[in-house]
Chains A and B, each alone.
Chain A
């Protein structure tokens, strides 16, 4: 065996693998690299197919308005899925929160900012309820949230008497509002561009910082050109997107819901990557017993992750109600499926332990642009569903397949499709399980844990 750390041949691989690091390190980065590629391909295909409609300002704004709440759900869902759980109740929780918020404003005349606070509180309460059952009673999240799906859907229709409840116009800002115009004689939205410049600047600063840290630590650095290309491409894309948003129909610009989304993505990427709590999520998801034996309180992590999901569902529900200007009995139907699909397309593993916020958002964007593009070319809803289903299946299928292959030679590709997991989890040494440890250490019933 020889390691290539100091091997002259190593930097050759550095280029591509470092480029991949843009999308977060860790084991799923490869997958995200692929999925980002698919997103670009899908956008380009529809851009050509629709004769430039896809990347027009109006359409981009539309996509953000229409899918921001699914993407917000995906942020919470990926954390749930990393833990090895699932949350089926998000659509119902969103709808339930929506109706309470709508009623609070319509009937109790609660000012809209307070209504938002109320909505978040409702989400937290529901989350605490579900988290309690999952973490401290040990009912599998699948069951708890299946129940929640029924309970809160019913709750929505009970409170709203199965009719729609309108919300005041000011509330609409979080769902249908835009960055305001400044009183300057420029023919684009200045705030949107400022946001874009800040974003691009952050990319540059972040890369410089990363290189400095890497140098200090003496870890392997990508060649300079990789960094430059990376920064130029990413910053360019951000500025270009900002320009598109800034030059749309007068009165429109980057949507407020998009800003909420971006803020949440940044916040949760930070939490999952850089905080102790984030580490604990991956630790418990990867090996619950080893995590508890390292001092992680797994139930507490279960609880907060489930609770957090419902809070995000509440936010998504409010944004939706704001955009639709009313809360209705069918709000949020099927959202859980879109969110779960986004997470898996974005590289999460069904068995838990793997997944990233940014990947899930990219996965969600794949679904969003696919949906949007198909609508633009006039495909019917049934066709859209079929295609979305196939994309989900193929995206995850390709991933599983390529993982099982490792890095095969051409010869190896033929004839060993099924031997999948053996390679990635190549068995070597041996567990001798302490009698009873498993059931003792874990509060979860069998099926909530995966081997």
Chain B
């Protein structure tokens, strides 16, 4: 029965059980739900029991003006091709969240990734602070919106000097 569920049925099923802050029916094969921090583990565990067994991605969005980070868990069901984005907002200052490795063990690496690029700490995942992609990183986490990649590049990497001016001045001479 679960495997023939369409995205509307899925959403009403979820609405019956949990308090969803917001629902987005992105397309026939994509649903996005916003939930509170405390619901994340139960919702993920419930969806896993319905067949959304694969955590395809854990990522983070920096809403700098709001002062929030938004964690996005994208999960997939191989029998019923609907991607579900489970989203929750956390504080941007000293961001901390609880690990979901108890539900999706593969989150171990995604959490390391999010820690490295956004600085989110994941309680309960002892590996989450190990370096993954960036080696010997020495600045703000680079995908934060207030990280200035150009300034970092200018400071750190030698630039080529040009004797001729090749810059485009909007077509003016």
Whether chains A and B associate is no
